[in-house]
Amino acid sequence: MHANFNNDHFIELAKKWPSEVPRFLYKNFYHKLVHLAQQRTNNRQASEDIVQDIFIDVWRKLDHLVSKEGFLIAPYLLMMVKNKSITYFWKSTLIQPLTADSFDIFFGAYLSAEDEMLQEELKQQLRTWVDRLPTRERDTLKLKYFDGLANEIIADRLSISKKSVERRVTTGIRMLQRMVRKG
């Protein structure tokens, strides 16, 4: 964020000269927010779109936001970029044809410390979505991806065939893809 940023200045600007807010946001936040989004999305154009959408959202809700006691624009923008970037990442990942192998790659890849933090955030979001699945698919995906068990062990634990485990994994991933597309 801009080194000389002053939240009080933003609030005053928003109340007295709201037409200047877009320019202010761009000058003080745009490049850093795009950079942060790009770290999560790996897509420059999508990151720029995310930040622009957030700025439009701030513009639309400006009166409401600045009327909140203790509103801080910088943490708000950071939270929005984080959430929208994670949502973009999951939508772009899960809309692509996923196989159980590509899911394995996501959970087993070597990552930097920063990427590990992002991966943990994504896993938390994934857990939320997996918890919405029907019991059979939910339990199978949790054992496979969150507990790291092999299909043979999952089959033994659930008293089903290895082929049934594979079908449940495939069905669960397809359900997740549909869930993400719907938003």
Q: What is the pLDDT of residue 74?
A: 85
Residue spans of alpha helices (H) in 68-161: 73-95, 100-108, 113-130, 135-141, 151-158
Residue-wise pLDDT for 44-88, tens only, equals 999 999 999 999 988 888 888 888 888 888 888 888 898 888 778
- Mark whether 154 and 176 lie in a shared domain: yes
| Cα–Cα separations (whole angstroms), residue 6 to 22, 78, 140 | 16, 16, 50
**Which of the listed residues 35, 53, 87 is the one where a domain comes to its end?**
87
The answer to whether position 1 is within a domain reads no
**Which of the listed residues 39, 63, 87 is the one where a domain comes to its end?**
87
- Mark whether 24 and 71 lie in a shared domain: yes
pLDDT beyond 90 at 97:
no
Residues near 145 by beta carbon (within 8 Å), at least 6 away in sequence: 103, 107, 126
**Which of the listed residues 64, 87, 110 is the one where a domain comes to its end?**
87
- Is the pTM higher than 0.75? The answer reads no
- Mark whether 73 and 116 lie in a shared domain: no
- Mark whether 19 and 60 lie in a shared domain: yes
CA–CA gap between residue 63 and residue 14 (Å, rounded):
8
| 86 neighbors 117 (Cβ within 8 angstroms) | no
| 51 neighbors 37 (Cβ within 8 angstroms) | yes
**Bigger pLDDT: 95 or 17?**
17
The answer to whether position 35 is within a domain reads yes
Across residues 126-152, what is the average pLDDT?
87
The answer to whether position 59 is within a domain reads yes
Helices (H), strands (E): how many in the chain? 11, 0
Domain region containing 49: 7-87
